[in-house]
């Protein structure tokens, strides 16, 4: 047959019909491997090749011996010794004349006569099995070999030029199928990752309508995908977070970076939840921003832990009042503000009278209960802008910023003495305790202008009040006022 004939060597089917059938196989196959198996069989039938092989490389391998080899036809007993020889790695190393060239140079190779081809490594075994000619071509994906097919005939044969000219298109079709399948596999993996993620992940369009919604989002926000997809994202945004959400959205639509940040969102039942939010734009093939993806992580547990740590660091574990460290911080800020706005700050040093006798007679549990009630009573006599702290034992400090005059401080001190001298009913013992308090008062800036000095002045005044008990004293170097 002439070399440029479009008919097979046996005249079974025209080359054009072969190419059409191969194209259908590539389009209709469920997997790239199915398509290549079909192509292997059809090319064998077209060229009357008695033996064919499909070699498949695993993703990322691209060289050496293929991960899998599939032979055609099903009954290959006659070629058992040749197939065994074909499993040797050495035939795939550079320097060979057949499959090594296909694998490394990525081009089709035709061997007209194996017996007359020096360097055909399996030549002796091939001839013993009645194989005299060979043909192979690669399937190239992104310039790397993904698979190859090789075919063997029983008689020497000259190259089929039309087939060689067209076989590259067959390889390209299979390559596109592999790429598409790989892309679909990656998309499926990404979809599975998104769906199984512990983070709530969803997307919204430019009009802020929700497009996708994973299982974790349903769990976090309480909406099913059927309920929320197509709805406006404002359903999730509390009113006090709208301005921040708007600012972030504007940055995102301009393609600017938006670092993850903590915020608050609403659940289906209106409950506020603290979340960490990451956002990124979704672009089309032209690079235009067409949507946005959002990832929410529930940080309620983290916030509770942070709040617990803050409580331990800055609040008294027994009474819940600020501790010494927080009190000093607030006093320093109060003095700084008073210095700028030119007003006075009063500091009260409150020490309980006869508290030791309660501990000694009723026990420490009763003493602890008493301290909690004392804290509540003192707070009940102060303004919301005032601060009372327990600084240790039975000692308390109270900050009264922006006092109109000393008469107001006197009224507060009197109310505190009255409430602390009233009997305390202790549920833990069923008994009643009666104590009192001694209060020392120092005024900024008259008595001191620094935090430590002001505390010392209040402490000294309290010591003076302690001499008569259940009384208060203003700090003075010459005059002491008794309540």
Q: What is the pLDDT of residues 345-383, one digit of tens each?
A: 999 999 999 999 998 899 999 999 999 999 999 999 999
- For 241, the token pair is 């977070």
Residue 127 has pLDDT above 60, yes or no: yes
Closest to 426 measured CA to CA, from 382, 369, 483? 369
For the chain, the domains span 15-188, 197-303, 315-474
Mean pLDDT confidence for 262-291: 90
Compute the Cα dihedral for 450, 451, 452, 457 and give only its sign.
positive
pLDDT for 269 beyond 90: yes
CATH class of 15-188: alpha beta
Q: How far apart are CA 314 and CA 310, in angstroms?
A: 6
**pLDDT of res. 476:** 83
**Cα–Cα distance, 306 to 292 (Å, whole number):** 31
Backbone angles phi, psi at 105, to 5 degrees: -95, -10
Phi-psi label, residue 15: left if phi above 0, alpha if psi -120 to 50, beta otherwise? alpha
- Residue 142 confidence (pLDDT): 81
Q: Tell me: the pLDDT tens digits for 185-218?
A: 556 665 666 677 788 989 999 999 999 999 999 9
Q: Residue 203's Cα: distance from chain center in Å? A: 15
Question: What value does the mean pLDDT take over residues 146-158?
Answer: 93
Give the pLDDT band (50/70/90) at residue 445: very high
pLDDT of 480 reads 39
Q: Do domains 197-303 and 315-474 have the same CATH topology?
A: no
**Are 54 and 149 in contact, with CB atoms under 8 Å apart?**
yes
Stretch 7-16: mean pLDDT, rounded? 53
Class of domain 197-303: alpha beta
pLDDT for 197 equals 79
What mean pLDDT do residues 164-175 have? 83
In the chain, % of residues over pLDDT 90: 54
Residue 190 is predicted with a pLDDT of 59
CATH 3.40.50.620 fits 315-474, yes or no: no
3-state secondary structure of 283: strand
Q: What is the mean pLDDT of the chain?
A: 87
Query: pLDDT, tens digit, for every residue of 18-71?
Result: 888 887 877 777 788 888 888 889 899 888 999 999 988 887 766 677 888 889
Per-residue pLDDT tens over the stretch 306-341:
878 877 888 998 999 999 999 999 999 999 999 999
Whether pLDDT at 247 is above 50: yes
For residues 199 and 187, what is the distance between their CA atoms, to the nearest angstrom? Answer: 18
């Amino acid at each position: 047959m002439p070399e440029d004939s479009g008919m097979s060597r046996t005249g079974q089917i025209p080359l054009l019909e072969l190419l059409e059938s191969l194209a259908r196989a590539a389009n209709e196959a469920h997997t790239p491997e199915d398509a290549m198996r079909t192509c292997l069989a059809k090319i064998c039938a077209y060229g009357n090749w008695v033996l064919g092989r499909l070699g498949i490389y695993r993703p990322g391998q691209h060289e050496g011996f293929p991960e899998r080899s599939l032979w055609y036809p099903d009954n290959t007993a006659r070629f058992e010794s040749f197939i065994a020889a074909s499993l040797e790695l050495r035939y795939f190393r550079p320097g060979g004349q057949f499959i090594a060239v296909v694998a490394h140079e990525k081009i089709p190779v035709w061997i007209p006569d194996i017996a007359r081809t020096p360097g055909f490594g399996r030549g002796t075994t091939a001839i013993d099995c009645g194989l005299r000619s060979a043909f192979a071509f690669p399937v190239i994906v992104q310039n790397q070999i993904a698979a190859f097919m090789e075919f063997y005939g029983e008689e020497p044969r000259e190259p089929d030029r039309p087939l060689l000219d067209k076989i590259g298109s067959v390889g390209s079709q299979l390559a596109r199928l592999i790429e598409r399948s790989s892309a679909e596999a990656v998309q499926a993996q990404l979809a599975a990752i998104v769906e199984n993620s512990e983070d709530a992940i969803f997307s919204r369009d430019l009009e802020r309508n929700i497009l996708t919604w994973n299982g974790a989002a349903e769990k976090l926000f309480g909406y099913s995908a059927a309920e929320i997809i197509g709805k406006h994202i404002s359903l999730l945004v509390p009113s006090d977070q709208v301005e921040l959400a708007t600012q972030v959205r504007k940055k995102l639509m301009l393609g600017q970076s938006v670092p993850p940040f903590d915020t608050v969102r609403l659940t289906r039942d209106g409950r506020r939840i603290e979340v960490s939010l990451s956002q990124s734009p979704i672009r089309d093939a032209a690079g235009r921003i067409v949507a946005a993806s959002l990832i929410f992580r529930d940080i309620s547990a983290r916030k509770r832990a942070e709040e617990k740590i803050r409580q331990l660091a800055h609040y008294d574990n027994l009474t819940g009042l600020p501790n010494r460290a927080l009190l000093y911080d607030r006093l320093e800020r109060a003095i700084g503000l008073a210095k700028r706005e030119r007003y006075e700050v009063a500091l009260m040093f409150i020490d309980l009278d006869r508290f030791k006798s309660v501990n000694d007679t009723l026990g420490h549990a009763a003493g602890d209960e008493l301290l909690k009630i004392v804290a509540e009573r003192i707070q009940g006599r102060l303004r919301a802008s005032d601060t009372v702290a327990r600084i240790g034992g039975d000692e308390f400090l109270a900050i009264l910023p922006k006092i109109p005059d000393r008469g107001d401080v006197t009224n507060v001190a009197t109310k505190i003495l009255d409430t602390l001298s009233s009997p305390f009913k202790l549920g833990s013992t069923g008994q009643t305790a009666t104590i009192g308090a001694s209060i020392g008062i120092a005024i900024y800036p008259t008595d001191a202008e620094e935090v430590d000095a002001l505390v010392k002045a209040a402490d000294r005044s309290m010591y003076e009040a302690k001499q008569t008990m259940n009384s208060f004293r203003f700090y003075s170097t010459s005059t002491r006022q008794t309540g």
